């Protein structure tokens, strides 16, 4: 069957629509007034410079603040790009099924990546695998691949158990229209049996799941594969030699093979194909982390199923909506508007964040505003998980007007599983990519901690559009890290990756010149320059406070008219941000917590990221990928639920946080004391804005003081950090006085 034999969208009707919200004019006007305020602030700074040889901090502080305020203002202009032009997409799945028979739908290859059975428990991994196996989609068209970078027999065992469990789980999901289809998530939340499902049926399923959990977890604990399993699945024989996570041969095992008679569920329906893969690893060869495994998956799947659509998820990101494939296809298969759509990205949402999360994890504003704006500029970025791609796009194809996708390609390959395994193995040998374009022009790009974003940008520069789709029932739910240390490490990886991209030849302004819209280039740069916010922010939360301590005024006096732009810009920008958060579904507390996290991230993760990028450009360091752990101990979890910040193991970043928190506390107390003691309330006039800034920094840092002085649990900050921080604080204060 040729691709062209498939008819277009619903008898000519579009398979999706795009809407623009009204009332953007008011917002744009409002932004204009803020910008006017920013201009006035710049003007004030430029025209009120204290004389050069004035005493103390005066003019040097002034100059620094000028640079900081210039940066903040320009950065704010960048952020307008992710407010200017939001759009909203709606799909029509019924039209898709009206115009395509089930057997005309394209094949879909789904990739799941895991890298460490200790940080990513096998039960978590297989729950994700089961959730994507149970998509509402013809199973003959569905192929699931698990890449295990650790080459762990235990993970393989878990996948083998999952392949057996799927025979019960998939019909259960489909018969009773269960949501979500990750068994872990489903059984964790279920209060009452599903309407259509009898209590006995539910009970039976639950028992099967509990048995599965017990078996897998006991193997995880003992590390020994049961003999029964070894006998019934020949794949285990691959683990005969000495295998470690850093050194192992290539293994490809097809666990469910549609050509086998056994590969049906308990109702006799076909099961999706299920493949386990681990790339060959030897210590002296680069393996390129997740990007490397995705490229290996692209090659292996090209010989086993070669579906025209590829979707990939992280192992902790289960499918929460069984219709996501059909939704995504509404974009690709729309005859008029779908031809140049290269990928469809779903938002990242989290399953494990609690209400009023202390880390401000809910990223509703990003999901409800920033991303729809990127989409409005024709290019949501690729976030590495929860994304549907055309295989061809991912493999480097340029968009051209006469390109026609062969949606029927790949289906029904009838080769023997043993043969396919044999053919695939050499494709994932660690030398396979030598002298090829893999990681450069083909597949996911190497050499950057944000391989996904750079890959997405390149695809857009090859002429493809991308789409952001955010349905009411979330497509995917993942796990957010719930300790401060973990979050800061993750944020460092991201901001470092973004900055690296922005300063390289792949910068959206260079690579995208003339290929993507200016708004999109700016949109990329909002995250692209995250890291550079560190220096001005650090400056802003130290120098004015130190000046306050020593009585040097660096802002206009409260009675001066020049105060108005400062107050207006601050009040307007912050109230706007609060209103946006509330509108997008965050609570006020979450907003406040997110502001704190902004400050903390900027002075820690972003700072270290900037330093690392600079060192990297000088050839002094190389990037690594610190995996985010998906397990947390039960006490830490309790503390998280109670809204206590979890500091955990000591890190240099915590020293910075404490230093800033203590510095501002000292400056606030001593500074206010000095003013009132020497000059009384009037003395505050010239220093009012500084006092307010210093007090705001103190107020937002409350959880830090709590963790330093008040808490006694294991998640608090270790006491010995206080003298270290105080050393820094006192030396700064002495210099300022």
Ligand X SMILES: O=c1ccn([C@@H]2O[C@H](COP(=O)(O)OP(=O)(O)O[C@H]3O[C@H](CO)[C@@H](O)[C@H](O)[C@H]3O)[C@@H](O)[C@H]2O)c(=O)[nH]1
- Active-site positions read 149, 452
Q: Which residue is nearest to ligand X (CB)?
A: 384
Q: What percentage of the chain's residues is helix, strand, coil (to nearest 5)?
A: 55, 10, 40
Residue 11 token pair: 């008898």
Pairing of strands 108-114, 309-314: parallel
Minimum Å gap between C-beta 703 and Mn ion is 24
Residues numbered 36 to 65 that lie near ligand X (CB under 6 A) are: none
Q: Which stretch binds ligand X (CB under 6 A): 21-29, 424-432, 623-631, 664-672?
A: 623-631
**CB-CB contact of 700 with 596 (8 Å):** yes
Distance set, CA 99 to CA 7, 410, 620 (Å) = 7, 21, 57
- Residue pair 96/10 in contact (Cβ under 8 Å)? The answer is yes
Selection from 443, 449, 337 nearest residue 389 by Cα: 443
Residue 149 annotated as part of some ligand binding site: yes
User: What phi and psi, each to the nearest 5 degrees, are found at residue 680?
Assistant: 75, -175
If the CB atoms of residues 114 and 502 are measured against Mn ion, the closer one turns out to be 114
Collapsing DSSP to helix, strand or coil, 713 comes out as coil
Q: Does 118 bind ligand X (CB under 6 A)?
A: no
Nearer to ligand X, 387 or 543 (CB): 387
Identify the residue among 293, 295, 307, 483 touching ligand X (CB under 6 A): 293
Residue 606 sits in the site that holds ligand X (CB under 6 A): no
Residue 149 as a binder of ligand X (CB under 6 A): the answer is yes
Is residue 248 involved in binding ligand X (CB under 6 A)?
no
In sequence order, what are the residues at sequence separation of 6 or more whose Cβ sits closer than 8 angstroms to the Cβ of residue 633?
A: none
Binding mask 337-356 for Mn ion (x = CB under 5 A): --------------------
Q: Residues 141, 177: contact at Cβ < 8 Å?
A: no
Stretch that binds ligand X, among 161-169, 379-387, 511-519, 554-562 (CB under 6 A): 379-387
Q: What is the DSSP letter of 380?
A: P
5 token code pair: 């034999």
CB of 182 to ligand X, least distance (A): 15
- Beta-carbon contacts of 211 under 8 Å, excluding residues fewer than 6 positions away, are none
Tell me how far, at minimum, the Cβ of 618 lies from ligand X, in Å. 23
> Would you state the structure tokens that stand for residue 307, as one six-digit string?
């579906």
* Residue 493 contacts which entry, Mn ion, ligand X, none (Cβ below 5-8 A, type-dependent): ligand X
Rg, Å, the chain Cα set: 28
Under rule CB under 6 A, which residues in 335-354 are in contact with ligand X? none
Query: Is there a contact between 616 and 500 (Cβ–Cβ < 8 Å)?
Result: yes
Q: C-alpha 389: how far from its chain's center?
A: 17
Using CB under 6 A, pick the residue from 176, 625, 705, 728 that binds ligand X. Answer: 625
625 binds, among Mn ion, ligand X, none (CB under 5 to 8 A by kind): ligand X
Q: Which stretch binds Mn ion (CB under 5 A): 290-298, 408-416, 576-584, 621-629?
A: 621-629
Closest distance to Mn ion from the beta carbon of 321 (Å): 19
Residue 659, class by beta-carbon neighbours within 10 Å (0-12 exposed, 13-18 middle, 19+ buried)? buried
In the complex, the smallest distance separating the C-beta of residue 410 from ligand X, rounded to whole angstroms, is 24
Among 31, 81, 91, 114, binds ligand X (CB under 6 A): 114
Minimal distance in Å, beta carbon 361 to ligand X? 12
Closer Cβ to ligand X, 105 or 381, answer by number? 381
**Cβ atoms of 156 and 135 closer than 8 Å:** no
Q: Supply the DSSP string of 326-338, one letter for each residue.
A: HHHHHHHT-TTTS
The residues that bridge with 309 in the sheet, in sequence order, are 108, 390
149 binds, among Mn ion, ligand X, none (CB under 5 to 8 A by kind): ligand X
Of ligand X, Mn ion, none, which one sits near residue 384, judging by CB under 5 to 8 A according to partner kind? ligand X
Are the CB atoms for 453 and 383 separated by under 8 Å?
Answer: yes
Q: Which residues from 628-687 bind Mn ion, rule CB under 5 A? A: 628
Q: Which of 120, 140, 334, 370 binds ligand X (CB under 6 A)?
A: 120
Chain residues 304-333 in contact with Mn ion, contact rule CB under 5 A = 314
Site residue total, Mn ion (CB under 5 A)? 2
Integer Cα distance of 123 and 443 in angstroms: 29
Q: Which is nearer to Mn ion, 490 or 504 (CB)?
A: 490
Contact status, residue 523 vs residue 369, Cβ threshold 8 Å: no
Pair 13, 95: CB distance under 8 Å: yes
113: DSSP letter: E
> Is 115 among the residues that bind ligand X (CB under 6 A)?
yes
Annotated ligand binding at 416? The verdict is: no
Classify each residue of 508-546 as buried b or exposed e, where b means 16 or more C-beta atoms within 10 Å of its C-beta: beebbeeebbebbbbbbbbbbbbbbbbbbbbbbbbbbbb
Q: Between β-strands 108-114 and 142-148, what pairing exists: parallel, antiparallel or unpaired?
A: parallel
Minimum Å gap between C-beta 253 and Mn ion is 25
Partner from ligand X, Mn ion, none contacting 627, C-beta within 5 to 8 A by type: ligand X
Q: Are 639 and 715 in contact (CB under 8 A)?
A: yes
Binding partner at 602 among Mn ion, ligand X, none, C-beta below 5 to 8 Å by kind? none
Q: Considering only residues 470-499, where is the footprint of ligand X by CB under 6 A?
A: 490, 493-494
We find the least distance from the C-beta atom of residue 180 to ligand X, in angstroms, to be 18
Q: Which CB sits closer to Mn ion, 490 or 651?
A: 490
Number of residues that bind ligand X (CB under 6 A): 23
Q: Which of residues 236, 289, 332, 640 is near ligand X by CB under 6 A?
A: 289
Q: From the list ligand X, Mn ion, none, which binds 219 (C-beta under 5 to 8 Å, kind-based)?
A: none
Annotated binding site for Mn(2+): 290, 314
Annotated binding site: 120, 149, 290, 314
Where on the chain is the footprint of Mn ion (CB under 5 A)? Answer: 314, 628
Where on the chain is the footprint of ligand X (CB under 6 A)? Answer: 113-115, 120, 147, 149, 289-290, 293, 314-315, 383-385, 449-450, 452, 490, 493-494, 625, 627-628
Annotated binding site for UDP-alpha-D-glucose: 120, 149
């Amino acid at each position: 069957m040729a691709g062209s034999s498939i008819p277009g969208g619903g008898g000519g009707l579009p398979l999706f629509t795009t809407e623009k919200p009204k009332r953007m004019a008011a917002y744009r006007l409002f932004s204009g007034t803020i910008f006017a305020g920013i201009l006035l602030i710049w003007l004030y700074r430029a025209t009120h410079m204290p004389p050069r040889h004035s005493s103390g901090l005066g003019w040097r502080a002034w100059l620094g603040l000028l640079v900081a305020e210039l940066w903040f203002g320009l950065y704010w202009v960048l952020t307008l790009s992710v407010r200017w032009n939001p759009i909203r997409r709606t799909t029509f799945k019924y039209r898709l099924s009206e115009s395509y028979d089930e057997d005309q739908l394209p094949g879909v290859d789904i990739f799941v990546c895991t890298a460490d059975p200790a940080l990513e428990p096998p039960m978590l991994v297989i729950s994700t695998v089961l959730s994507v196996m149970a998509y509402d989609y013809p199973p003959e068209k569905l192929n699931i691949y698990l890449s295990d970078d650790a080459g762990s027999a235990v993970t393989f065992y878990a996948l083998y158990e999952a392949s057996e469990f799927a025979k019960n789980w998939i019909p259960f999901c489909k018969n009773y229209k269960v949501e979500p289809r990750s068994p872990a998530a489903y059984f964790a939340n279920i209060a009452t049996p599903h309407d259509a499902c009898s209590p006995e049926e539910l009970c039976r399923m639950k028992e099967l799941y509990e048995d599965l959990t017990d078996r897998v977890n006991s193997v995880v604990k003992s590390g020994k594969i049961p003999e029964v399993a070894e006998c019934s699945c020949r794949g285990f024989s691959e683990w005969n030699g000495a295998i470690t996570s850093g050194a192992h041969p290539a293994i490809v095992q097809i666990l469910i093979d549609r050509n086998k008679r056994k590969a049906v569920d308990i109702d006799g329906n076909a099961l999706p194909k299920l493949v386990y893969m681990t790339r060959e690893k030897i210590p002296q060869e680069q393996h390129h982390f997740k990007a490397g495994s995705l490229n290996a998956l692209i090659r292996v799947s090209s010989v086993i199923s070669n579906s025209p659509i590829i979707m990939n998820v992280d192992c902790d990101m289960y499918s929460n909506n069984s219709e996501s494939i059909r939704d995504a296809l509404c974009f690709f298969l729309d005859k008029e508007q779908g031809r140049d759509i290269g990928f469809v990205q779903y938002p990242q949402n989290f399953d494990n964040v609690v209400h009023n999360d202390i880390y401000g994890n809910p990223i509703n504003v990003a999901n409800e505003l920033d991303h729809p704006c990127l989409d409005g500029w024709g290019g949501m970025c690729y976030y590495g998980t929860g994304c549907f791609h055309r295989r061809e796009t991912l493999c480097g194809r340029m968009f051209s007007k006469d390109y026609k996708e062969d949606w029927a390609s790949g289906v029904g390959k009838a080769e023997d599983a043993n043969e396919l395994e044999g053919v695939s193995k050499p494709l994932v040998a660690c030398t396979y990519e030598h002298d090829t374009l893999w990681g450069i022009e083909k597949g996911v790009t190497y050499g950057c901690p944000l391989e996904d974003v750079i890959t997405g940008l390149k695809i857009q520069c090859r002429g493809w559009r991308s789409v952001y789709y955010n349905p009411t029932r979330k497509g995917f739910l993942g796990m957010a890290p719930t300790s401060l240390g973990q979050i800061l490490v993750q944020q460092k990886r991201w901001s470092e990756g973004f900055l690296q991209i922005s300063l390289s030849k792949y910068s959206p302004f260079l690579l995208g010149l003339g290929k993507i819209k200016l708004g999109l280039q700016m949109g990329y740069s909002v995250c692209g320059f995250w890291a550079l916010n560190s220096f001005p922010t650090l400056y802003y939360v130290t120098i004015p406070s130190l000046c306050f301590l020593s009585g040097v005024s660096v802002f206009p006096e409260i009675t001066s008219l020049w105060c108005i732009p400062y107050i207006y810009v601050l009040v307007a920008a912050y109230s706007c941000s609060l209103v946006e958060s509330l509108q997008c579904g965050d609570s006020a507390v979450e907003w406040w917590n997110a502001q704190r996290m902004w400050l903390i991230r900027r002075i820690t993760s972003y700072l270290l990221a900037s330093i690392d990028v600079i060192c990297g450009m000088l050839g002094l360091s190389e990037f690594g990928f610190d995996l985010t752990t998906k397990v947390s101990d039960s006490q830490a979890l309790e503390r998280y639920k109670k809204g206590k910040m979890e500091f955990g193991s000591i890190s240099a970043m915590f020293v910075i946080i404490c230093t800033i928190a203590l510095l501002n506390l000292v400056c606030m107390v001593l500074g206010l004391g000095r003013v009132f003691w020497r000059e009384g309330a009037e003395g505050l006039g010239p220093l009012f804005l500084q006092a307010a800034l210093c007090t705001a920094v103190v107020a937002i840092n409350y959880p830090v003081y709590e963790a330093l002085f008040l808490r006694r649990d294991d998640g608090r900050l270790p006491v010995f950090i206080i003298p270290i921080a105080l050393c820094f604080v006192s030396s700064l204060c002495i210099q300022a006085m």
